[in-house]
Structure 1
Amino acid sequence: MSNFIWGVVQSAFQFEMGDPLRRNIDARSDWWHWVRDPFNIKNDLVSGDLPEEGINNYELYEIDHRLAKDLGLNAYQLTIEWSRIFPCPTWGVEVKVERDSYGLIKRVKVPKEALEELDGLANRREVLHYLAVLKNLKKLGFTTFVTLNHQTLPVWVHDPLWTRSDFEGSRARGWVDERNIIEFVKFSAYSAWKFSELVDFWATFDEPMVTVELGYLAPYVGWPPGILNPKAAKKVIINQMVAHARAYDAIKEHTKAPVGIILNIIPAYPLNPHDARDVKAAENYDYFHNRLFLEALNRGRVDLELDWNPVKIPHLERNDWVGNNYYTREVVKWTEPRFEELPMVTFVGVEGYGYSGNPNGVSPDNNPTSDFGWEVYPKGLYDSTAEGAEYGRPVYITENGVADSKDILRPRYIIEHVEEVKRLLENGIDVRGYFHWALTDNYEWAMGFKIRFGLYEVDMITKERIPRRNSVETYRKVVREGVE
């Protein structure tokens, strides 16, 4: 397919900072505060590595774009960071809000006057920076994919330390609070107004269920706000769905470009396929982690109470394409319902498989595991992408890669996963692109710089990009040969 998309991905927080003079630090995001919190560091919730010591893509983006071009790629995916554009609150900018019979936000109208007011509040330097980045990509001939929320939030939207210490008293609780839907719509409308001529594909969210599962149901994994609060998790799910739909509408006011959402569709397999309870656990995992968003945004079928009784809400059926971030699978077994508010959570991952393996070992099925301990399981890319395609929208594999600092697993990983892409196409599945995570090493959230995903190693002192030659040449060859 001559029009197949081949690309690489970056997110703002993980790649941008690191200039030696500390001129381009973004100290206004929730993750900035989270990773330097003494309690988090002392208790090994985060690594202690700091993003301002990172790879400095903010200054070196032209180098990275050229590396991507030299690989033969035709697409590049990046994030416009909300906290850079609006480091201070936008609450005072008035917009019109309408609700439906369920009390959900049905429409947010951002008039020209509001956009002009937002323009006065925006950080001019950061707006010009992203314009320069996007113009350079277009000059090099790339198709541009832009994500508006890749996990991080402005600290005035989400203060994770305040929220963790005083959940009820915090006035910056992120997606728990409905008012932040309106602020996200303002940011989305402003971004489309400013950048739409340079953006070919928009994504509202990247992996919204990660925010839910790691932030509110797994307090010891190092993800903000690090609390156990199933009731809040339920609100975050619904509020992110509404935020996507309303941001979709706002973006479409300024462009005809496709607007989608990026999910980490994870195929779940029962530990014992002959045990009805394990089979049910896998079904419930799929419904909770994958289907809630897929059903709501592509079919308008919304499970408001998370009780397997969706209702039809047409104004949430807003989606042009599905992104699938795939790294590995889950193998699950049955457990009794864990949370009264989330009765479908009757599953637990089995140690050794999927995301629960030992670093640099093998899974119980004798599949290799990465530096992260994640099991290499290429078939899962086929199964997860096919699931995303069931909803009648084109699917792009928006992240796929492996943590492999010694470059032992990555070449084979690329080949085997692209083979699954070929199999998808042979079977008529509408998959239109593949993005590798990542072009370069980066800041891997709570794990800091320990985990290396890059085709190019980065010397954290000099910021030099050093090719991991086997992987670089493998990906270049795969792109050159295509998927036909």
Structure 2
Amino acid sequence: MATDAGNPIPRFPAGFLWGVSTSAHQIEGAADEREPSVWDAFTAEPGRVKDGSTAAVACDHVHRHREDVALLAGLGVDAYRFSLSWPRLRSGKKGLDFYDRLVDDLCAAGVRPVPTLFHWDLPADLDWLERDTAERFAEHVSLVAGRLGDRVTKWITLNEPAEHTLLGHALGVHAPGGKLLFDALPVAHHQLLAHGLAVRALRASGAADIGIANSHGPTWAASTEAADVEAAEFYDLLLNRLFADPLLLGRYPDGIGELMPGDVEADLKVIAEPLDWYGINYYAPTRVGAPQGAEIEFGGVTMPAELPFSVREIEGHPVTDFGWPVVPEGLTELLTAFRDRYGDRLPPVVITENGCSYPGVDDQDRIAYLDGHVRALHRAVEAGVDVRGYFVWSLLDNFEWAEGYARRFGLVHVDFGTLERTPKASYHWYRELLRAQEPTA
């Protein structure tokens, strides 16, 4: 097993949940067997995806899911976080039957199914700018819970509504491609409302273990200058507190609620339905300063000049193949800050995504990345943060949204010509980490 300065990876409390994550649109393929999503329309437009690819086949998981379940069983994870394609489930019995088989096969393999009910692949005829989409989502959730709830005991409502709002509706680099900037705020509100309605639908079905997967990271001011500090505070509000405060405190940050549509106070009562746990996707901190009066290219995203902040590089740290800084200590900082900010309003935390993009099968850089972040997570546990689980992103190399197939996050290499799966060095490292967590006689 990989070690840090000769020290073995620390042991976590009994019952700690270890897993891996994927999402439907990124791995399933079989696009001709489901209704279209906003991502199908988006990737059909020239120039939207950097390598010109689509997810029509992806990893062909729909037809190869038993092979992937065998990989999960061989890895030794407790749980598998995957997403349920709303367009596939709307296509009729065949879609429901696929998820029935997947859940059955996971249970037979001793792997706990943890489905995410929405991971960005909105049916093409729906729009998060419309309040009705939240109601439609609740109906969808009721259908799914009625079919799978006898075997699924842990649920996730939404994945990363912040990114879906910012990248898909404000900046236009993800589907559906809107460039609304701050006029995209209703998208955030309607997703949060959909979450609350989904929690109620799941509770009505008898579910008792419900969370959400929100992306969060520390925001570091570029300097101590007042303008940089103010810009960093605004960015933190926009990417962290805008999505955590309504869920955990039942209110929007000051100045935000009045920008949202509808009866916000009534909606907040729905949004703040109690959670059994809070999921956090962590990748890196963000260094933010005052606006610089020009477009800035950062992490593959063009940030418009009119934004009231600018994202800066974090120097002095290695970077992933995606150009993201590797800062394990940011995870400890984030978790302790959440504990301090939200106190007893913060339920137990699960890290629902953490991972990195690197090429190759002998992926020692990924091992170093995961090793550092698992240690950082343990330091947060030692500091008193109630963390109950950790999921690596991702099981498989996959369709990485606007990047196409150029970025590889998987523990398992996928040859996108033959679809052959090859476990990487990191797969074997993670398996040994999980074995080291098993109780000793």
* Shorter-chain TM-score range: 0.7 to 0.9
Aligned residue for 2:7?
none
Residues 112-261 of structure 1: matches in 2 within 5 Å? 123-157=92-126, 174-219=127-172, 222-261=173-212
The alpha-carbon deviation at position 69 of structure 1 amounts to 1.8
Q: Are residues 374 and 25 of structure 1, via their aligned partners in 2, closer, same or farther at CA, if it must alter by over 3 Å?
A: farther
Residues 78-477 of structure 1: matches in 2 within 5 Å? 78-87=82-91, 123-157=92-126, 174-219=127-172, 222-272=173-223, 274-303=224-253, 306=256, 313-318=268-273, 319-335=275-291, 346-350=308-312, 352-353=313-314, 364-365=315-316, 367-389=317-339, 390=342, 391-406=345-360, 407-469=363-425, 471-477=426-432
Q: Which has the higher contact order (CA 8 A, sep 6+)?
A: 2
CA distance in 1, matches of 2:123, 2:200: 22
Amino acid at match of 1:456: V
Check if 1:34 corresponds to 2:3: no
CA distance in 2, matches of 1:139, 1:253: 27
Contact kept in structure 2, 1:303 and 1:311, CA below 8 Å: no
- Give the 3-state SS of the residue equivalent to 1:214 in structure 2: helix
CA distance in 1, matches of 2:307, 2:390: 31
The alpha-carbon deviation at position 25 of structure 1 amounts to 4.3
CA distance in 2, matches of 1:177, 1:305: 22
Aligned length: 404
- Give the 3-state SS of the residue equivalent to 1:203 in structure 2: strand
Contact kept in structure 1, 2:208 and 2:276, CA below 8 Å: no
CA distance in 2, matches of 1:143, 1:25: 26
CA distance in 1, matches of 2:22, 2:140: 20
CA distance in 1, matches of 2:142, 2:57: 32
Check if 1:5 corresponds to 2:17: yes
> After the TM superposition, which of the residue ranges 227-236 and 1-10 deviates more from structure 2?
227-236
CA distance in 2, matches of 1:369, 1:182: 41
Amino acid at match of 1:10: T
* Aligned mate of 1:17, from 6, 23, 29: 29
Aligned residue for 2:10?
none
Structure 2 unmatched runs, 5+ = 1-12, 295-305
CA distance in 2, matches of 1:77, 1:294: 21
Amino acid at match of 1:196: G
Q: Are residues 263 and 483 of structure 1, via their aligned partners in 2, closer, same or farther at CA, if it must alter by over 3 Å?
A: farther
Contact kept in structure 2, 1:217 and 1:229, CA below 8 Å: yes
Q: Are residues 256 and 480 of structure 1, via their aligned partners in 2, closer, same or farther at CA, if it must alter by over 3 Å?
A: same
CA distance in 2, matches of 1:265, 1:144: 24
Task: Write the deviation string for residues 66-89 of structure 1: whole angstroms up to 9, x where unpaired.
Answer: 2122222111101111101114xx
Q: Are residues 337 and 183 of structure 1, via their aligned partners in 2, closer, same or farther at CA, if it must alter by over 3 Å?
A: farther
User: What CA RMSD, in Å, does the superposition of the two structures yield over aligned residues?
Assistant: 2.4
Percent identity for Structure 1 against Structure 2: 31
Q: Are residues 127 and 311 of structure 1, via their aligned partners in 2, closer, same or farther at CA, if it must alter by over 3 Å?
A: closer
Q: Are residues 180 and 337 of structure 1, via their aligned partners in 2, closer, same or farther at CA, if it must alter by over 3 Å?
A: farther
Task: Write the deviation string for residues 274-299 of structure 1: whole angstroms up to 9, x where unpaired.
Answer: 22322222222221111122111122
Q: Are residues 237 and 82 of structure 1, via their aligned partners in 2, closer, same or farther at CA, if it must alter by over 3 Å?
A: same
The alpha-carbon deviation at position 311 of structure 1 amounts to 6.2
Aligned residue for 1:114?
none
Contact kept in structure 2, 1:27 and 1:33, CA below 8 Å: no
Amino acid at match of 1:223: H
Task: Write the deviation string for residues 299-347 of structure 1: whole angstroms up to 9, x where unpaired.
Answer: 2113595179996943321122211111111000023999xxxxx9632
CA distance in 2, matches of 1:130, 1:63: 15
Task: Write the deviation string for residues 403-428 of structure 1: whole angstroms up to 9, x where unpaired.
Answer: 00132410100100000111011111
CA distance in 2, matches of 1:131, 1:9: 18
CA distance in 1, matches of 2:248, 2:142: 21
TM-score under structure 2 normalisation? 0.86
Q: Are residues 345 and 196 of structure 1, via their aligned partners in 2, closer, same or farther at CA, if it must alter by over 3 Å?
A: farther
Q: Are residues 304 and 259 of structure 1, via their aligned partners in 2, closer, same or farther at CA, if it must alter by over 3 Å?
A: farther
- Give the 3-state SS of the residue equivalent to 1:415 in structure 2: helix
The alpha-carbon deviation at position 143 of structure 1 amounts to 2.1
- Give the 3-state SS of the residue equivalent to 1:199 in structure 2: coil
Contact kept in structure 1, 2:328 and 2:373, CA below 8 Å: yes
CA distance in 2, matches of 1:384, 1:207: 16
Aligned residue for 1:108?
none
Q: Are residues 15 and 144 of structure 1, via their aligned partners in 2, closer, same or farther at CA, if it must alter by over 3 Å?
A: same
CA distance in 1, matches of 2:108, 2:195: 30
Residues 61-80 of structure 1: matches in 2 within 5 Å? 61-80=65-84
CA distance in 1, matches of 2:387, 2:146: 29
Structure 1 unmatched runs, 5+ = 88-122, 158-173, 339-343, 354-363
